[in-house]
Structure 1
Amino acid sequence: METKAPRQRIGRAERERQILEAAAAVFAERGYQNASMDSVAERVGVTKPVLYTHFGSKEGLLLACITQARARLLEVTAAAAAAADGPQDMLRHGTKAFFDFLDAQRPAWALLCSETAISAATCSALEEIRRQQTDLIAGLLAAQAPDADPQRLIGWANVIVGACERLAMWRSREPQITSEQAVEYLMDLVWTGISAAPPMHGEERRPGGCRCGHNVLR
């Protein structure tokens, strides 16, 4: 009589990874309201109670998906910026990594651009991603120009994040626009403005401004 091989147990971390991957795909395909825990469980190959054990609710599962996408986005953009040579390359490589991430992680992008938030917690989670990327960019700019006005750098970072998000939404409707093209469009406008920022000299220096006599980032 043939005996079946014992079913291999999967660790909690691996099981959660599988669930999040399946859930992100289901949410992206069907939208949050039309996605069901049954459909996620079926895709993973587990029972619905397993999902509730790990994430508590459908909204808890969505929030976990957003949190995972946030962590991955920070990882790829920070790594690309860190490998750049100078502030211009930093901006170019970081934004290219952002667009490439969205291309490779379509379900994650569907979550990140979802403005049909179902709760205050979801709104907060999505806004936290914007804040995360803004803080990253402002910190990288500050490292390149430590004497620059911090408020100005934060303002630039918000402009960059907003521009990237709108370009990404445009690309989702116009798939023929490549990530390279999107980066160039952003650089045309944003980097031209940053590199032309007025110098701040001696006594005319604003609080926190640059004493160097050169443009803030060059």
Structure 2
Amino acid sequence: MEKEAEEREVRKRILGAALSAFMEGGYAQTSTLEIATRARVSKRDLYTLFGNKEAMLVACISERAQRLQVPVDLPALRDRATLGQVLTAFGTKLLTETTDPVVVAVFRLAISETVNAPKVAQTLESMARKPIREALRTIIANAVSAGLLAGEPEAMTHTFLGLLWGDLMTGLLLQTTDRPSNTEIMRRASEASTVLLRLHTA
């Protein structure tokens, strides 16, 4: 058990050091030696745990993506008021996690390193973006089945995300927009939920 705990700690240090180095100097310019030095580990330890720096960045994204998972204890969708609360909670969590400066920096890295590290963008899509869309689509499809919404779940999923985000992520990626406050995040989520319910009355 002690060895496993030590390995988890080393892994955590390596991922933290790797992400910091990638954010500061860029993925292509960061060497595994620099990451090992920052993490206070040997290059052998680094390669044993991850193999290469692309695997490190993929692991960083995967761990962040875990925070975006939808709670399994969502209330049953008995009425439109409950549906509004569920959608607002979903939108609030999504915006809170994805507007985190570290997450935005990872998105920026994925965009800039599409050629050098294609797995990064693929991981972002498969581990973060796709599960989010599928979870939201499931909520909306259940609402349709319960007679609380009228429309096509896939289309309504895109509508909700469009209402929620607007051009916020573009501004964050370009560093022309500040991260929204908790109050602003909740306002956006509530407004997106209200408009969706208004547009798709059963």
TM-score when scaled to structure 2? 0.74
Root-mean-square deviation over aligned CA pairs:
3.2
Distance in 2 of aligned mates of 1:48 and 1:140: 45
Query: Do structure 1's residue 93 and structure 2's residue 73 form an aligned pair?
Result: no
Check 1:144–1:67 CA distance in 2 against 1; reply closer, same or farther (3 A cut): same
Unmatched segments (≥5 aa) in structure 1: 1-7, 199-214
Aligned to 1:14: 9
Check 1:80–1:108 CA distance in 2 against 1; reply closer, same or farther (3 A cut): farther
The one-letter code of the counterpart of 1:92 is T
Q: How does 1:160-171 map to 2 (within 5 A)?
A: 160-161=160-161, 163-164=164-165, 166-171=167-172
Aligned to 2:65: 70
TM-score when scaled to structure 1? 0.70
Aligned to 1:137: 136
* Deviation readout 1:160-196 (Å, 9 max, x if unpaired): 34553842442453226424324424543x3344212
Unmatched segments (≥5 aa) in structure 2: none
Cα shift at 1:115:
1.4
Distance in 1 of aligned mates of 2:150 and 2:125: 21
Aligned to 1:42: 37
Query: Whose RCO is larger (CA < 8 A, sep 6+)?
Result: 2
Kindly tell me the number of residue pairs found equivalent between the two proteins. 188
Aligned to 1:204: none
Counterpart of 2:84 in 1: which secondary structure? Answer: helix
C-alpha contact (below 8 Å) 1:138/1:154 kept by paired residues: yes
Aligned to 1:180: 183
C-alpha contact (below 8 Å) 1:82/1:90 kept by paired residues: yes
Q: Which has the higher helix share?
A: 2
Check 1:17–1:65 CA distance in 2 against 1; reply closer, same or farther (3 A cut): same
Query: Do structure 1's residue 115 and structure 2's residue 118 form an aligned pair?
Result: no
* Deviation readout 1:14-53 (Å, 9 max, x if unpaired): 3222222222222222221222222221221101222111
Aligned to 1:4: none
The match for 1:195 among 188, 194, 197 is 197
